[in-house]
Amino acid sequence: MDKKILLIAVFVFGFNTNNFCQNGKLYKGKESLKTTNSSSSNKGTTKISRSRRHYNNEEIRSPFASIIWGIFAYTVYGVAVESPWEKDSKMHDAEIAHYPFEKTTHGNFIYTDSINYNLARFDITNSFVIENSNLYGNNLGVNFRFLRRFAIDVDYLYLKENVNSINDSFYLYAALLKYYRIRTQKFDAWFGLGAMHVANDVHKTGFGLGFGAEWFIAKPISLEFTHKWTNINSQEVHKTKVYLKYYLKNYHISSGYEHFKIGVSKINAFSIGVGASF
């Protein structure tokens, strides 16, 4: 009788351990985002404090310091915003097109002196993503373009995973203010700053960075790339998309690859979606 009880106990313990070890990517990723690496953050704080004290104790006596700083600031502005020779280029006055490939020669931006352009535009996209039959989700995004060069980009990612008949989920919200640094009729590129929030039982918000580009290969096809990143409790969260888009007037269909990094977990998914510009 004792042997039977012992065997049952070993079986139950082994079954529970196996279930624990087979927790899915979403569970492992969210758990890693909850853990704060205090030692590394303390070391970083100590290094910053030391560098600040060192800087404060030093006196800059060079008469050329302000000149060097001015040159540096001017260079950064030229690289990030606009260089002097770009002010006379067509890109300087590029306007927002009603929708990509309205004319064969242009994509998101149009070179025109007429009134045939948009003062603002909404781009709405929705895509279904799937890694396997147990891990899939949805990605909804809204991009509001205004003042020729700027946009507010808001998107919502939902992932669902089934492991051992137990469902788990992951929610990621992102909001970025984007600046379109390159605005040609065949190619545009942007970078953005903002915030990204992991919901569920993590409930943490981090500073968000992003960049992306779209190349209008030939009507009606374009290739788009976007990447967004944040840091939660010293763990990285990434969202990367690479996909082809096929335009039908102000609508489009897309298909491609999406990669997500949630702390220690990495997800590689196939994506198919639709979108519209208004």
With pLDDT > 70 as the criterion, what percentage of the chain qualifies? 81
Can you read off the two tokens belonging to residue 247?
């335009």
**pLDDT beyond 50 at 241:** yes
- Looking at residue 50, its pLDDT comes to 54
Query: Which of 180, 158, 182, 161 minimizes the C-alpha distance to 171?
Result: 158
For residues 117-127, one letter each, b for 16 or more C-beta atoms within 10 angstroms of the residue's C-beta and e for the rest, the string is bbeebebebbb
Q: Which residue has the tokens 């960075």?
A: 209
Which of the four pLDDT bands, split at 50, 70 and 90, describes residue 39?
very low
Q: What is the pLDDT of residues 247-265, one digit of tens each?
A: 999 999 999 999 999 999 9
Exposed / middle / buried, residue 217 (Cβ in 10 Å: 0-12, 13-18, 19+): middle
What does the pLDDT average to over 66-87?
79
With cut-offs at 50, 70 and 90, classify the pLDDT of residue 105: confident
Q: Are 115 and 126 in contact (CB under 8 A)?
A: no
**Given pLDDT bands bounded at 50, 70 and 90, which one contains residue 36?**
low
User: For 62-71, 90-99, 212-221, which range has the lowest pLDDT when averaged over its residues?
Assistant: 62-71
Domain locations along the chain: 94-277
Q: pLDDT tens-digit profile of 51-70? A: 445 444 444 456 677 778 77
CA distances (Å), origin 9, targets 2, 6, 22, 55 = 11, 5, 20, 64
Q: In 1-25, which positions are buried (b, 16+ CB within 10 angstroms) versus exposed (e)? A: eeeeeeeeeeeeeeeeeeeeeeebb
pLDDT at 204: 95
**Domain spanning 94-277 has what CATH number?**
2.40.160.20
Query: Has residue 13 got a pLDDT over 80?
Result: no
Q: How far apart are CA 46 and CA 49, in angstroms?
A: 5
**Lowest mean pLDDT across 63-77, 83-97, 187-201, 233-247:** 63-77
Greater model confidence, 15 or 27? 27
Please tell me the predicted confidence (pLDDT) of residue 14.
45
Q: What's the pLDDT tens digit per position in 117-171?
A: 999 999 999 999 999 999 999 999 999 999 999 999 999 999 999 998 899 999 9
Higher pLDDT residue, 81 or 137? 137
pLDDT of residue 83: 79
Prediction pTM value: 0.83
Give the chain's mean pLDDT: 86
pLDDT of residue 2: 54
For the cut 80, the answer to whether the pLDDT of residue 99 exceeds it is yes
